[in-house]
Amino acid sequence: MSSPRLRVQFETLFEHYKGQDNGVQLEDITDILFCTRRNARIVLNKMEEEGWLEWHPAPGRGKLSQLIFKRSRADVSENLARRYLEEGKIGQALKVLDQDTAKLAQVVESYLGIVHQEGQQVVRLPYYRPLSTLNPTLPLRRSELHIVQQIYSGLTYIDDSEQLQPNLAHSWEMLTPKHWRFYLRPSVRFHNGELLTSQIVVDNLFALKARKLFAHIANVSSPSQLIVDIELERDDYQLPLLLSESCAKIMLPQESRADNHDLFPIGTGPYKIVQNDSKRLVLQAYDGYFGFRPLLDQIEVWVIDDVHSSMIFPSLTKPLKPKVANYVESVDLDPGCTYLLLNRKNGLAASNDWANYFTHKLATLNLFQNLPQDKIVELGVLPAHGLKPGWYHHTRQGYTSPPSYRTVTIAYHGQHPMFPTLVKCIEGLLKEDGLTVQFINYDLSVEDTSEVDIWVKPMGITTNRDDALAGWLLNSSDIEALSQEADFAYWTEIVQDWQAAQNASFPAQQLGKSLVEKMQLIPMFHCWLGVSKDHCGSLQNAKCNALGWFDFSKVWVKPDMPIQTNVVSEDYRGSAQQETTD
């Protein structure tokens, strides 16, 4: 890429000659650029290589060489800004555009949003960090969970209307509450062409037994081709629903996976990965998909540098975030919350006195009042009084001062737009009472939970359904690692009783109330989701899901149709008038 200095030198020449082609001598260039004859030749040659101008030196002393401008100053700045955007360097792009956000918006619009490229429909979306771990068996954040749903398939899935639907299994039946049979689709292939077999499904499902959510699996077998039987140790009327969880996606056998499988996973879903690095994630429609082939040919998630990522708004029509937060009127709240998970097993909060203190000192309103106002607007957060919006759970009055003066250890995900600000706010509140704070900044998960007193966690549930709390509690909440044994046994029993009852509603309120009243967690904030239909322009069916994204495989681009008018020729009008007269 050309250097910023070369761009400045071009602008100097362009302004001196007012963008007009001229006959010049090399000495004129050296005077304008304050450089030697040798450097002037080098600079002119580089500008010619960039396609900014043409330089035709004339042989002989006193003869004029020709300087021809091929690009304007604005063209060069915008072209350079685009190239910086390709590298995710929005700060540099803004700098070359003289900090003009209006110009930046024009450049961003040309790169982000809906693009027609070599006959294909491409949608480019901004994001603030790389999506580097896409293995559904590992702890995943909200955005990775969404991408996983585009790459992989499970036996079942939850659709846009949040109803259970068949996926790799086209149908199923309950032989008994402890014995389920699933019928697989034939000729399904992974993105690498490998055929999905019943044995691959059996191995994937039996591996789920290691998870608390599926610990009641007794055996998985294939009694006949394209049939899979799951035998359970206890009654479960909800098994097909639980198999829609991300951890139950069907993956390649271990021996078929590449070393970089987490970065370039291979599934059977509607999209396959063709690029995934620090600059962008590129998903391409999988032509061999067993369902309806996606209408969008390619999805590109562009990584914008952290410092300026807050400028980018998830809109295909207005990519720069508005200066006020009135856009929240058109988007929904996430179905869960960000919360503080207290270590009731072997942290300070194992003591009821400390748990009481944390619960009241770090209550949502205390934190909300201490957050910087600009961050509240930028991040779009609201106080949470329960796990889900509209819920209200509270604890009895607690202590106003800490039981003793100790060091409090707080774990948080460092690569998150809100958490660094939030933990500083928590630190400030605790220091008011003479406590010291140390932090554990982790990437995927905390290695040793016994070192943690407070863990800042997002729920990351994938649907608005109340029963989504079952998978969250037993599969991804990490509550078992930080809770007292009797408490977790009670919460597990709530889920298991629901599984054992036919047509039962999930007791979500009971579970949420107990988690708060037993001081296991402190609800902090609900966040506004990022996308609404109004932000998607000509993109159709872009319904925001519980993870703040939209299902790539279900959207399509509505073309702009020219307005047709009825134009009647003079000859026709004349003949028509004659017929009327006659």
Q: How far apart are CA 63 and CA 23, in angstroms?
A: 9
CA dihedral sign of residues 143, 514, 348, 420: positive
pLDDT range class, residue 570, cuts 50, 70, 90 = very low
Chain-centroid distance of CA 133 in Å reads 12
Task: Say if residue 3 is exposed, middle or buried (CB neighbours under 10 Å; 0-12, 13-18, 19+).
Answer: exposed
Structure tokens at 417: 């737009």
CA dihedral sign of residues 116, 119, 125, 128: negative
Give Cα separations from 414 to 129, 354, 384, 417, 422 (angstroms): 11, 25, 22, 8, 11
CATH of the domain at 367: 3.10.105.10
Decide if 39 is inside a domain.
yes
Domain shared by 367 and 492, yes or no: yes
Decide if 504 is inside a domain.
yes
Q: Which residue has the tokens 């400030």?
A: 428
Task: Say if residue 474 is exposed, middle or buried (CB neighbours under 10 Å; 0-12, 13-18, 19+).
Answer: buried
Total of domains in the chain:
4
The least confident of 115-129, 536-550, 566-580 is 566-580
Domain shared by 38 and 96, yes or no: no
Q: Which helix (H) or strand (E) holds 539?
A: strand 539-540
Q: What is the DSSP string of 404-454?
A: S--EEEEEEESSSSSHHHHHHHHHHHHHTTT-EEEEEEESSS-S-GGG-SE
Classify each residue of 358-368 as buried b or exposed e, where b means 16 or more C-beta atoms within 10 Å of its C-beta: bbbbbbbeebb
Judge whether residue 533 has pLDDT over 70.
Answer: no
Single-letter residue type at 292: F
Question: Model-level pTM?
Answer: 0.80
- What does the pLDDT read at residue 327? 47
pLDDT range class, residue 39, cuts 50, 70, 90 = confident
Average pLDDT over residues 377-402: 82
Decide if 134 is inside a domain.
no
**Mean pLDDT rounded to a whole number for the chain:** 85
Decide if 355 is inside a domain.
yes
pLDDT digits (tens, 9 = 90+) for 278-323: 888 999 999 999 999 999 999 998 887 655 555 565 555 566 665 5
Decide if 146 is inside a domain.
no
Domain shared by 24 and 97, yes or no: no
Distance between start and end Cα atoms, the chain: 75
Who contacts 218 (Cβ-Cβ below 8 Å, separation ≥6)? 178, 231, 232, 233
Judge whether residue 566 has pLDDT over 70.
Answer: no
Chain-centroid distance of CA 253 in Å reads 27
235, 250, 265 - which closes a domain: 250
pLDDT digits (tens, 9 = 90+) for 452-504: 999 999 998 989 999 999 999 999 999 999 999 999 999 999 999 999 999 99
Decide if 217 is inside a domain.
yes
Query: Contact, 272 vs 151, CB < 8 A?
Result: yes
Beta-strand relationship, 164-166 and 156-158 = antiparallel
CA dihedral sign of residues 283, 543, 323, 111: positive
- What does the pLDDT read at residue 116? 77
- What does the pLDDT read at residue 549? 81
Domain shared by 246 and 377, yes or no: no
The least confident of 87-96, 324-333, 374-383 is 324-333
Q: How far apart are CA 576 and CA 571, in angstroms?
A: 9
pLDDT digits (tens, 9 = 90+) for 419-464: 988 999 999 999 999 999 999 999 888 989 999 999 999 998 989 9
47, 82, 106 - which closes a domain: 106
Q: At what angle do helices 73-86 and 4-16 cross, to 10 degrees?
A: 170
Domain shared by 510 and 397, yes or no: yes
Q: How far apart are CA 441 and CA 184, in angstroms?
A: 43
- What does the pLDDT read at residue 582? 37
- What does the pLDDT read at residue 183? 98
Average pLDDT over residues 51-73: 78
Domain shared by 171 and 82, yes or no: no
Domain shared by 52 and 97, yes or no: no
- What does the pLDDT read at residue 321? 62
pLDDT digits (tens, 9 = 90+) for 207-232: 999 999 999 999 999 999 999 999 99
Phi-psi sector, 63: left (phi>0), alpha (psi -120 to 50), beta: beta
**Stronger pLDDT, 180 or 106, i.e. the higher one:** 180
pLDDT digits (tens, 9 = 90+) for 112-124: 777 777 778 888 8
Q: Residue 189 pairs with which residues in a beta bridge?
A: 195
pLDDT digits (tens, 9 = 90+) for 238-285: 999 999 999 999 999 999 999 999 999 999 999 999 999 988 899 999
- What does the pLDDT read at residue 10? 79
- What does the pLDDT read at residue 410? 97
Percent of the chain with pLDDT over 90: 53
Q: How far apart are CA 83 and CA 356, in angstroms?
A: 54
Domain shared by 386 and 462, yes or no: yes
Domain shared by 170 and 225, yes or no: yes
Decide if 99 is inside a domain.
yes
Q: How far apart are CA 521 and CA 385, in angstroms?
A: 12
- What does the pLDDT read at residue 554? 85
Q: Residue 86 pairs with which residues in a beta bridge?
A: none
Judge whether residue 574 has pLDDT over 50.
Answer: no
**Stronger pLDDT, 557 or 560, i.e. the higher one:** 557
**Stronger pLDDT, 103 or 437, i.e. the higher one:** 437
218, 250, 282 - which closes a domain: 250
CA dihedral sign of residues 507, 511, 514, 516: negative
Domain shared by 348 and 246, yes or no: no
CATH of the domain at 42: 1.10.10.10
Q: What is the DSSP string of 385-405?
A: SSSSTT---------SS-SS-
**Stronger pLDDT, 16 or 143, i.e. the higher one:** 143
**Stronger pLDDT, 373 or 512, i.e. the higher one:** 512
Decide if 347 is inside a domain.
yes
Q: How far apart are CA 442 and CA 452, in angstroms?
A: 12
Q: How far apart are CA 102 and CA 58, in angstroms?
A: 42
Domain shared by 18 and 88, yes or no: no
Single-letter residue type at 286: Y
**Stronger pLDDT, 19 or 350, i.e. the higher one:** 350
Domain shared by 21 and 81, yes or no: no
Q: How far apart are CA 289 and CA 310, in angstroms?
A: 36
Q: How far apart are CA 356 and CA 491, in angstroms?
A: 20
Judge whether residue 578 has pLDDT over 50.
Answer: no
Beta-strand relationship, 298-303 and 120-127 = parallel
Q: Which helix (H) or strand (E) holds 7?
A: helix 4-16
Who contacts 318 (Cβ-Cβ below 8 Å, separation ≥6)? 105, 535
Q: How far apart are CA 179 and CA 218, in angstroms?
A: 10
Residue ranges making up the domain that contains 43: 4-71
CATH of the domain at 202: 3.90.76.10
List the one residue out of 242, 295, 314, 296 whose CA is nearest residue 463: 242
Q: Which residue has the tokens 């690692």?
A: 481
Average pLDDT over residues 528-554: 71
Give Cα separations from 494 to 137, 303, 323, 337, 512 (angstroms): 25, 41, 45, 21, 11
Most trustworthy range by pLDDT among 63-77, 401-415, 534-548: 401-415
- What does the pLDDT read at residue 6? 83
Residues comprising the chain, all counted: 582
